Structure 1
Amino acid sequence: MPSPEQAKIRFMTIFFGANDARLPNTLGYTQTVPLEAYKQQLIKIATHPAIKTHNPHMILITPPPIDERLCEAADAAKGINQVRRTAENAARYAEAVREVGEQLDVPVLDLWKAFMQRAGWSEGQPLPGSKDVERNAVLTELMHDGLHFNPAGYRVLLDELMRLIERTWPNQMPEKLPFLLPPWDDADAWSE
């Protein structure tokens, strides 16, 4: 992390959890981070002195939901025949981010909820992406392998991020920021 004298960090997103939420496995290695340890690590990152010295506009981003069928197919193509992700576990890690955001008074971009709303989900219903329900075409459109985003998923991330910035720090919207360099078509300014 650069010092504030080297670079000023205006915005910082913390976007971890999709791999941390993997289930423990018997493959000899694991990416799993237990839920409470995950929450503590998010707090350590968000409150680290090297970050706090910049006083950035900080945003926590929940991990997205997953599509169990697509994840299992992608794993099977790699020769992995063990369930490593569940929609329910992904939901728990997203909730953990919401809790940390509330605890630290840091805005949360709820990507999990944004994807789920687009998938037609309502509180109390079975989770789209679970093998217990029919395949959800929206999640398939958003994620190519049940976890990693397609262009449509990245569009959701960008749109939600810009909405959060506009609500929370409206003076930081791109159209309200001054240019550091002249516009590309200002020939007089560039000739100086």
Structure 2
Amino acid sequence: MALDVYKKIFPKDAKIQPSLVIFYFGGNDSADPKFPLSPNVPLDEYVENMRKIALHIKAYVLTLECLSEKTRLIMLSSPAVNEKLVEYYGDNRGRTNERGKIYSEAGIKLDQQLGVPVIDLWSALYERPNVFRDGMHLTKEGSEIVFNKIKDVISKAEWEPSLDWNKMPNEFANIYG
């Protein structure tokens, strides 16, 4: 469904472009297609869809037009799930850690090819207690893990200008001292 809207969400002719886009797909895409109402996207198609959207947001080839030279992109891999909770709440649709890991690894490989910072969300969440509310959706603790991973990528990135709040200039630094 993202292919139907990404050019509308991120139009190339917009006067103001985002400084940071965090790109996160794979949880639904990796569901087993044999289950009724499965939102599965075949692996090859998933990777190609991610490539199209990533290149639209931030082209890494000089011949392609990107949104803005200052738009940064971070990609999150397909997440792990808590299979027992997913079963308990009855909305499995074929979500398993085995399938999620395959999609996560494919996404990480693509991100490395594109030179995009990537967060291995599958490994960050796998078999961690108290990170899922219903097996798929994050609790406060799960959200804190994701937040800290994103914060780490931003703090280590060598972007100019930096998006790390510790490295940003303070226009009002002389007011108090």
Percent of aligned pairs sharing the same letter: 26
2:146 maps to 1:157: yes
2:164 maps to 1:173: yes
Contact 1:4–1:54 (8 Å) recurs in 2: no
Q: How does 1:59-138 map to 2 (within 5 A)?
A: 59-75=74-90, 84-116=94-126, 128=127, 138=128
By how many angstroms is 1:115 displaced? 2.1
Q: Which amino acid aligns with 2:108?
A: R
Q: Which amino acid aligns with 1:67?
A: N
Partner of 2:133: 144
Partner of 1:119: none
Q: Distance in 2 between matches of 1:111 and 1:95?
A: 10
Deviation string, structure 1 residues 59-94 (Cα, Å, up to 9, x no partner): 11012111111111112xxxx6x6611110011111
Q: Distance in 2 between matches of 1:49 and 1:103?
A: 16
The runs of at least 4 consecutive aligned structure 1 residues that moved more than 4 Å come to 2-5
Q: Distance in 1 between matches of 2:57 and 2:42?
A: 24
- Over aligned residues, Cα RMSD in angstroms? 2.5
Contact 1:72–1:83 (8 Å) recurs in 2: no
Partner of 2:62: none
By how many angstroms is 1:177 displaced? 2.4
Higher Cα radius of gyration: 1
Deviation string, structure 1 residues 29-50 (Cα, Å, up to 9, x no partner): 3310011110000000001278
By how many angstroms is 1:5 displaced? 5.1
Q: Distance in 1 between matches of 2:149 and 2:58?
A: 27
**Equivalent in 25, 45, 60 of residue 53 of structure 2:** 45
Distance 1:173 1:68, change over 3 A: same
TM-score (norm 1): 0.72
2:26 maps to 1:17: yes
Kindly tell me the number of residue pairs found equivalent between the two proteins: 156
By how many angstroms is 1:53 displaced? 2.4
Structure 2: which 5+ residue stretches go unaligned? 1-9, 60-65
TM-score (norm 2): 0.77
